[in-house]
Each structure stands twice: as C-alpha cells, then as structure tokens.
C-alpha cells in the first residue's frame, strides 16, 4: 500500500538518499528508511532480511544457565566462585569451619528474569571444612547422618535480594519454608533438582524438614552454606560443599524466533526492542497450571485447570490466571505468536471461568479462593476478552458454547447492581460494597470506570450477538450502552477540570479523576473528539511522572495514588491517545513508562506496578514480569502498524496506521489462516508517505489512509477510486480516506496512492 503526497522540489528519491547517507555516516541508524533505494512513487516490492529476530529475548534452549557471578556479593570462605559457571579451575567450594565463622555465599545472575526448576550439580560435601577429611563420628561412634546445609534465596532484583527470597509461597500461606529453599547436601556427587516439598518428615509431629518451594521466577540466586535450627538433625550450618554447575529448566512457554507468527519494527530502536521485551515478559506467564506444586496457594487449586496451559498473572506470583490481565496479556499473545499455544492458554482461562459462573451471572476473576474472590469489574473484562479471543482466533465454537454466559453477565448480574433512578452501574448495591477490582480500590457509587467498561462490554456483546444471529440481544445491548454513555457523560463529567470524576463518598463525588474511567470513556465514545482531547491534555498536565502517568490525579481516594503507575491501565490511556489523533503524546508517555522499567533492575521485563519515586510499588513482593504490563505490544501492532480484526478470525479487517512522529514501521499481525497481514509504511518527510499491505487472496478489509485535505486524489493500483469525493470504493472520514480492499494472489501487494488535489482542479 503506497501513499504519495506532494513531493519536495528536489524529489523524494534524492531527499531519502541524502538522509540515509547522512544517517549511515553519523551512525544514526534509526533514521535509515527501511527501503531507500528508489523513489516513494515507484511501484516496487520491498524485500527485507528478517532483522527482527535479533530483538528476541528467549534463551537458546529450555535449559538456562547463569551468565555470571556477582563479585562484590561473594561473602566468606569461597574458593573459585566462577567455577560453577565456567567449569575452569574445578568446582566452586564453600566452606565454614564452624557456626561462629562468616556464612559463605555466592550470588549468580541469570542475565534476565526467567522461571522454572533449578538443578544444582554437587561435586560432594563434607561435614568438615577440610578437603578429604573423614566424616567425624558422633558420640556413639557411628557415622553421622547430618549433612552440610545449603540455602537458596531467589530475587528478581538485587535491591530486594537477601537471605530469603523476594517471594515465597510461604508468604501466601504455604508455610513449609521461611522464604529460602533448603538442601541437605549428600556426601558424593549428585544432582539436586528443586521440588516443592520436604526431604524429610518428622516422625514425631509429621512436619517436614529441609524444605523447598520448587519453582521460582527470578533473575538472581544467592547460594549460602547454612542450616535452619528447625532442620536439625538433618543439616549442619558448617562444613564444606562443592558445586560443579547450576542450570534451570524453563517451565514457561519458550518464545524462540520460530514461534513468532507476528513481529514489529520501527524507526525507533527502543520501541522495537520493547515490543519484543513485552512479548518475552508475557511468554514467562504462559505455563501449565499445577495447583499443588506452584500455583497460588490461597485456594487456587482447580481440577478443571490442572494440567492445562494458562496465562498466569506473573511467573513469580501469584501464578493464577486472572481474566482482567487477559485484556492486555491475551492481545500480546495474539499479535506475536498468533493461533497456537498462547491463544489456547487464553481460551482455557476464559472457558474455565465460564464454567464457574455463579447463578446470578457473576463471573469469578480467577480460581483463587475456590473461584469466590469478589471483584466488581472482572465479569465485564470476561465479556471483552471473550470478544477479543473470537475476533483474533476465529474460535466460533467458543462463542457458541459460552454465549449464554455472556447473556447472564449483561442481562442478569449488572442489572442487579444498576441504580434504577440513573441507569448507572453502582458499586454498593446488592451487597457489593466490599467487592474489589483490579487494584482493590476503596471506591463506591456510580464509578466512571465501571460504567465506561460496561459500555465497552455491551457493545462488544452486541457484536457477538450479531455473529450468533441474536438480533434482539444486539439491539437491546446497543441501546443500553448508548443510554449508559449518555447518562455517564451528563452526571459524572467535571466541567471544572474537563475530566470525569471517579466515584462517590456519602453521595458526593470524591475530588479525584482516575486514569481508568477517563481512558475508557474516550475509547467508548462517551465523549466527542474535542472533549476527548481535553481529557487527555488535562491528564498530561497533572498526572505525568518520570516513570509514566499516575492512575489518579490526586491522593483523595488513598495516599500515594497520585504517584502510582499501572502499565495495565496506562494501556487504555495510550490507546485513547492514538484514537484521538494524539499519537506523538502516546509515544512520549511510552518513552517515560517503558523507558523507566527497561533502565531499572531487572531490565527487559515489565512490572506489575510502579510506586512513588519509581520504585516497585509493593517492594520485593511486586511482580517484575507481569503480563498485564505488556500493552506496548498490541499498541504498536494495532495502532502504529494499524492492524485490527473487524470480524471473527480476521474475516474482515482494517489497517489504520497512526504514524505518531515515527519515520517508518513494518511488521506482521498473525491471522488464524494464512501468513497474516503484513504492513509497511514510511514517512519520507516533505509530505511523502508510503504504505504497503499484503493480505491473503480474497481477504476483505478497509485501508484507512491519512490525507491532508478532503480534496486529495486516491488511486488503487493506478486506478482512481477517490477523485476528491466519496465513491463506490472509498469515502472520506475525519482526515482519512477509507478504501475497500480485497487481497490479491499470494505474495502480491496492494498499492494505494494518495496525491494532493492539483490547484487547477
């Protein structure tokens, strides 16, 4: 798809040539156009090397080894610390003559966050600190059964690395460890592999001793020679331990280059890398559900999920698939890996929650607390995510199986918490005062976020109703969505600042304006384009922080909320900016948000939440790799590249690129059938723009191209389809010409050219 605006006097080819020569000589490679060998006006195909694969973060294999020992964190008597990594000079040796001596420890770095089961190859051990010395007999003259103890502490960051892990299942109730994993090291060579449970059972009280959590999500590992007093008589806090090597068996989805059916690149190197970092973050969350071994211990075990692949909220914790997270995490999977393991994971989660729907229509957020955790907003996210699943994967069997569940959510549960006087969903009605939401926020009344999300769910529900030929449902839900949007705009909008109030306290609005409700109000057209821009401009003024935009403009709801950032909710604000034609401000915000996370430890992966000053919002308990934080991935693919499904399984589609100040972008968005939709666009400067699109033969969609004026001329493959006015194949809408397109034979591109209308006409 190629767009041509009026060229500069020196010609687009010459301008592009000199720009790229300058970029090459000065080392500013991001300025180089993806295809600069000829004029933008030429009709020729671009051939690219698969350059995107260098951004992929996945390990070479499912067996992962540490990349270094951190020298300044080695403590006590440790010989050859790097031996357990390089093998040079023999094994790493930790020795401690007695309990009064410093605890020897070594800390290794796996290079980036990962998740799985650790294995340690021990070359041997002795209860004496001297090499080769015989085991000391006990007082009865028999060989002692006590072994030197090794303890392991895992952490995603160095900041929260200590003698216990930054997170342990014990912190959530599975109290078999004090936060570290324990090992009673055998005398001779063997390989210890982590397993949830205990090496020994106390015959007197039945409690386990020398216990380990098993699976961990982490980057750093501290290994130290010590023992818990409670593990006596099996371990000693002294002796000698030799370690040959360490490895991790990756438990999560291994997102190597060959698994990518979609990809993205653009002229901004950071945004490109962060797209792949987001995919890596999300891949760490895709795993098999193992309730007893490593899932959330607070009642999340589920026979209906056991053994199925799911998208956990995070690899470290809570390791339970929450449906709200799928509003971002599932999209990340759809646009990167397409139909396959990751999309299967989202389908498994959605179907399982439908099976556990309550009789009144409420859908549980996750399996935690035996599917009873009361959240107010997550049934709506289940409807929205069901729509995403069907539209991106084409899984119509899912829609047929669970359509009645959608009806129950929209026609039973939410009407039961709707104020009949206003028609707005109102938290506090029908016993919901104690219900939480995605952040367990203490807000009540006709909260803007809940109602804007209700509008979104009703409209998505209406689209699904049309697909299953339930016209009555579709019409009813559209009317209700329009009415809720109308009342919400009248009652909840604060004209004083030009943004929506959040919720009420004792019948009066709290002096707070939240990112979630305002963003969704823009995305669902509760307000017009002018008000939308006003809302987003207000939020830029009051909520911008060095590490993103805060999710509240004040601390009126709770202390610190005006400084807290959630990448999850920021996704919807960023999408609202793209929708409102404010793409450059979206990129600026992404630079602060994702730039901050990428520059902090642990690097690469994106966080659950950011607190005051830019620190992890719940300190070491914070998940530093969280699927709901990966919104940059669907933003780049769905808004900057511009590819979205407009029917189930991309039966119909749209390509509407938002250039957002970038020079070029290219990539593929996967479709259930075929090789996906490939898009490449380039802004050559001086008004010269080119877009190319390749789609499957017979595939139908709309390409929305930006024009400078309604009088522009648009042609498809050299044939004028828009001569400055609406025609059969093209029409003008708000600065764009929408062109109906049908895919040609395999490998062929469609070329749409846009020219400014000559003044003589």
- Digit-coded pLDDT (tens) for 149-206: 999 999 999 999 999 999 999 999 888 999 999 999 999 999 999 999 999 987 666 6
Bridge-based pairing of strands 652-655 and 700-706 is: parallel
How far is residue 634's CA from residue 644's CA, in Å, rounded to a whole number?
A: 10
Q: Which two tokens stand for residue 509?
A: 């609005």
Residue 743 is predicted with a pLDDT of 87
Bridge-based pairing of strands 508-509 and 544-545 is: unpaired
How far is residue 119's CA from residue 602's CA, in Å, rounded to a whole number?
A: 22
The partner residues of 79 in beta bridges, in order of sequence, read 93
Q: Which two tokens stand for residue 596?
A: 């901050």
Helix (H, G, I), strand (E, B) or coil at 707: coil
Residue 8 is predicted with a pLDDT of 31
* DSSP annotation string for 344-406: HHHHHHHHHHHHT--TTS---SSSHHHHT--BSSHHHHHHHHHHHHHHHH--HHHHHHHHHHH
How far is residue 162's CA from residue 726's CA, in Å, rounded to a whole number?
A: 67
Residue 130 is predicted with a pLDDT of 59
How far is residue 476's CA from residue 516's CA, in Å, rounded to a whole number?
A: 26
Q: Which two tokens stand for residue 706?
A: 């930006």
Closest CA to 247 of 53, 50, 87: 87
Residue 551 is predicted with a pLDDT of 98
Residues of the chain with pLDDT under 70: 1-49, 129-144, 203-206, 684-688, 753, 756-761
Residues of the chain with CATH 2.60.120.260: 63-130+143-250
Residue 5 is predicted with a pLDDT of 33
Crossing angle of helices 567-579 and 583-599, in 10° steps, is 160
How far is residue 103's CA from residue 223's CA, in Å, rounded to a whole number?
A: 10
How far is residue 583's CA from residue 570's CA, in Å, rounded to a whole number?
A: 14
* DSSP annotation string for 212-247: E---EEEEEEEEEE---GGGTTTEES-EEEEEEEEE
CB atoms near residue 50 (< 10 Å) = 9
Residues of 696-732 as b/e, b for ≥16 C-beta within 10 angstroms?
Answer: beebbbbbbbbbeeebbbbbbeeeebbebeeeeebbb
* DSSP annotation string for 82-105: THHHH-TTS-EEEEESSTTSPPPE
Residues in CB range of 559: below 8 A, 6 or more apart: none
Bridge-based pairing of strands 239-250 and 235-236 is: unpaired
**CATH 2.60.120.260, domain 63-130+143-250, yes or no:** yes
Residue 746 is predicted with a pLDDT of 73
DSSP summary character for residue 326: H
CATH of 257-640, one of 2.160.10.10, 2.60.40.420, 3.30.420.40, 1.50.10.10: 1.50.10.10
Find the angle CA(83)-CA(90)-CA(68) to the nearest 5 degrees.
5
* DSSP annotation string for 400-468: HHHHHHHHHIIIIIGGGGB-TTT--B-EEEETTTT-B-TT----BBS-HHHHHHHHHHHHHHHHHHHHT
Residue count of the chain, please give it: 761
Closest CA to 584 of 639, 660, 641, 682: 660
Helix (H, G, I), strand (E, B) or coil at 667: strand
Residue 205 is predicted with a pLDDT of 66
Per the listing, tokens 């922080």 go with: 545
Q: Are 561 and 551 in contact (CB under 8 A)?
A: yes
Residues of the chain with CATH 2.60.420.10: 643-755
Residue 203 is predicted with a pLDDT of 64
Residue 110 is predicted with a pLDDT of 98
How far is residue 682's CA from residue 673's CA, in Å, rounded to a whole number?
A: 27
Q: What sign does the CA torsion over 670, 637, 668, 655 have?
A: positive
Residues of the chain with CATH 1.50.10.10: 257-640
How far is residue 214's CA from residue 152's CA, in Å, rounded to a whole number?
A: 11
Residue 706 is predicted with a pLDDT of 85
DSSP summary character for residue 540: H
Q: Are 95 and 77 in contact (CB under 8 A)?
A: yes
Residue 685 is predicted with a pLDDT of 65
Q: State the architecture of 643-755 in CATH terms.
A: Sandwich (2.60)
HSE on the CB side for 714, CA within 13 Å? 33
- Rg, the chain, Cα only: 29
Per the listing, tokens 């800390």 go with: 107
């Amino acid at each position: 798809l190629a767009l041509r605006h009026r060229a500069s006097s020196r010609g687009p080819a010459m301008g592009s040539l000199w720009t790229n020569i300058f970029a090459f000589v000065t080392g500013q490679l991001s300025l180089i156009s993806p295809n600069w060998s000829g004029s933008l006006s030429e009709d020729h195909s671009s051939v690219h090397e698969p350059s995107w694969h260098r951004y992929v973060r996945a390990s070479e294999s499912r067996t992962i080894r540490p990349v270094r020992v951190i020298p300044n964190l080695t403590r006590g008597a440790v010989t050859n610390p790097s031996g357990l990594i390089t093998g040079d000079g023999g094994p790493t040796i930790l020795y401690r003559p007695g309990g009064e001596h410093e605890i020897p420890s070594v800390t290794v770095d796996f290079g980036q966050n990962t998740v799985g089961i650790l294995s340690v190859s021990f070359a041997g051990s002795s209860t004496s600190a001297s090499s080769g010395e015989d085991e000391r007999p006990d007082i009865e003259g028999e060989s002692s059964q006590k072994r030197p103890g090794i303890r392991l502490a895992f952490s995603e960051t160095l900041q929260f690395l200590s003698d216990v892990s930054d997170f342990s299942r014990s912190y959530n109730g599975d109290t078999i460890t004090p936060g570290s994993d324990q090992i009673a090291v055998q005398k001779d060579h063997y390989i210890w592999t982590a397993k949830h449970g205990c090496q020994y059972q106390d015959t007197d009280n039945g409690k386990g001793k020398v216990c380990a959590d098993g699976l961990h999500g982490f980057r750093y590992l501290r290994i130290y020679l010590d023992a818990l007093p409670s593990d006596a008589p099996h371990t000693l806090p002294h002796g000698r331990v030799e370690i040959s090597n360490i490895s991790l068996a990756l438990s999560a989805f291994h997102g190597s280059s060959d698994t990518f059916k979609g990809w993205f690149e653009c002229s901004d190197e950071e945004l490109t890398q962060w797209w792949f970092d987001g995919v890596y973050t999300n891949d760490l969350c895709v795993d098999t559900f193992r309730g007893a071994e490593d899932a959330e211990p607070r009642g999340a075990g589920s026979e209906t999920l056991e053994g199925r692949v799911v998208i956990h909220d995070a690899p470290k914790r809570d390791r339970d698939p929450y449906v709200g997270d799928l509003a971002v995490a599932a999209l990340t999977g759809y646009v990167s890996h397409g139909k396959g393991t990751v999309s299967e994971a989202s389908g498994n989660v959605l179907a399982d929650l439908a099976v556990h729907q309550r009789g009144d229509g409420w859908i549980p957020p996750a399996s935690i607390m035996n599917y009873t955790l009361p959240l107010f907003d997550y049934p709506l996210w289940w409807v929205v995510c069901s729509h995403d699943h069907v539209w991106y994967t084409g899984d119509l069997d899912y829609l047929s199986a669970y359509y009645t569940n959608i009806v129950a959510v929209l026609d039973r549960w939410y009407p039961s918490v709707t104020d009949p006087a206003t028609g707005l969903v109102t938290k506090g009605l029908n016993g919901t005062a104690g219900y939480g939401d995605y952040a367990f926020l203490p807000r009540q009344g006709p909260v803007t976020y809940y109602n804007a999300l209700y509008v979104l769910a009703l409209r998505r529900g209406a689209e699904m109703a049309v697909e299953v030929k339930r016209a009555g449902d579709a019409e009813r839900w559209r009317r209700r969505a329009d009415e809720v949007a109308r009342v919400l705009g009248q009652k909840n909008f604060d004209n004083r600042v030009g943004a929506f109030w959040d919720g009420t306290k004792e019948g009066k609005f709290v002096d707070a304006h939240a990112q979630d409700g305002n963003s969704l109000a823009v995305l669902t057209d509760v307000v017009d384009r002018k008000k939308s821009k006003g809302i987003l401009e207000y939020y830029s003024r009051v909520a911008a922080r060095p590490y993103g935009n805060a999710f509240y403009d004040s601390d009126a709801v709770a202390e610190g909320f005006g400084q807290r950032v959630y990448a999850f909710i920021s996704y919807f604000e960023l999408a609202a900016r793209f929708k409102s034609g404010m793409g450059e401000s979206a990129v600026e915000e992404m630079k602060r948000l994702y730039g901050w996370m990428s520059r902090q430890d642990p690097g690469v992966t994106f966080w659950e939440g950011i607190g005051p000053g830019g620190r992890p919002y719940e300190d070491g308990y914070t998940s530093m790799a969280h699927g709901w934080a990966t919104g940059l991935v669907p933003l780049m693919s769905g808004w900057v590249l511009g590819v979205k499904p407009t029917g189930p399984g991309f039966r119909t589609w749209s390509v509407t690129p938002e250039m957002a100040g970038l020079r070029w972008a290219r990539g593929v968005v996967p479709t259930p059938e075929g090789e996906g939709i490939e898009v490449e666009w380039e802004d050559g400067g001086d008004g010269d723009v080119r877009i190319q699109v390749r789609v499957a033969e017979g595939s139908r969609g709309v390409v929305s191209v930006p024009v400078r004026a309604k009088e522009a001329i648009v042609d498809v493959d050299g044939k004028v389809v828009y001569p400055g006015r609406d025609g059969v194949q093209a029409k003008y809408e708000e600065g764009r010409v929408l062109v109906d397109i049908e895919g040609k034979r395999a490998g062929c591109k469609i070329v749409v050219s846009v020219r400014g209308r000559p003044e003589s006409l």
